[in-house]
Structure 1
Amino acid sequence: MIRTERAADGAYRTVTLDRPEARNALRPADLDALEAAVVEADEPVVLLRGAGSAFCAGADLDAVAGLDDPEAFAAHGQRVADAIESADAVVVAGVDGAARGGGVELALACDLRVATPAATFAETGVALGLFGAWGGTARLPRVVGEGAALDVACSARILDAEEALRFGLVSRVVDDPAAVAREVAENDSDAVAAVRRLVRAGARGEETAAAEREAFARLHAEHFPREGACPDG
């Protein structure tokens, strides 16, 4: 169900949710495969996509209906989302088609979210008597703000790509998300990783000023060594 492909020049890896007949809904084994595909990537950028007409419909409802331990299933999804968020690679969610429930939550765990004009987003769990429990109640307000998060999460309404852009749920509407992955991959991977780490920490309310200075100094020393300086310092 999870398919991976490396760009010809090795610049990025594409991870595709490949269960189009089920709108790429995720079962427990699919979550494990997705985690492995992202965490084990040795490319600097991962592009997460869905096959067919949907990005991801979220959790497979048949699997949800048969759960013996719903709390463990929620913890499973949270662990995978956390793994995506903390992966070594920069993870770009390229949403083309429908993202629903857990699909929105997986996109929220990614570093960048871009949408094609065909993308739509909705947290539809409340219509079924549930809600997304893969970390979305924390990530959604962090990304779009509390008011917009409550609008999306409590209404179950569908946002098109342009409204998602206005909300800040995505940063761009593009024809080809792969172009964004390549754009990121063309930059210095150490600098990108440092910026990503610091922005993530700042969003969580962690003190970043000293870490920012230290990262800048380290990168400067690597890329702009002083003339005559010993390579080992």
Structure 2
Amino acid sequence: MKPSEFANVLQRYLRTPTFPIGFKFVKDPSEVPEKARRLKDITICQGYNLARYYRWTVFIDKETVCPIGLIAYGFAKPDELYESGEIAVAGGYAENAEIGKKFEEAIVKLDYGEYIGFIAFPLERDEAEPDIVVVHGLPAQILRLVHAVLYDTGGAFETKILGRASCSEYLEAFVEKKPRFVLTCYGERIFGLTQDYEVSFAFPWEMAEKIARNLERTHKMGIRYPIPFSGLRTKPILPEKYVESLENIKKE
């Protein structure tokens, strides 16, 4: 399945307002498309949100400015401030540096220098076979992805919520090869303009065919988006005069 074909499936069954995007990690400059936008002095979350809002292909590397993202993606080594936990304190997330260290320890990280960067692109552009797919949407839209993941396995999948560094939470889908529901973080909402009503979902590209198949199967079973409200098919409670008028009309 091509990324554009999968994008069509997502559009049909989810109808998200922005473009589902792929992340492709690269080890050499030759892997970066010539037309990819290279923007300095923006955060990682600004970069991939440009891809989902503007339909751009964006190359993101060490020229980004958020220390948390730089370290998580292996573009830089942690400094003393980061390792001390003071970054989490300065951001307002941690009561003290010891608590801050626990925040940093919870962040999934790639090895330093493992990749020189990654491209973020709308799936419909077929820039590459992505390593992971990230979809932003309303909770009810993302719920359909949960249905698709579990339809042929049952049970539940576990996810953890950090409340910060959602750019690193997407990495878990890449590193651990499993789907990840993400309660999109405060920083991404400040810098990446992710909206109050949005959440996101990441999964490895290897799951794309399964998800596409199960979105169709669950749709046929009646589990759909937009959700078909049962109230639209129930008898309404009308005002008394409406009922009286209706009876008069029917008598005529």
Global fold match (TM > 0.5): no
TM-score by length of 1: 0.30
TM-score by length of 2: 0.28
Higher RCO, Cα 8 Å, sep 6+: 2
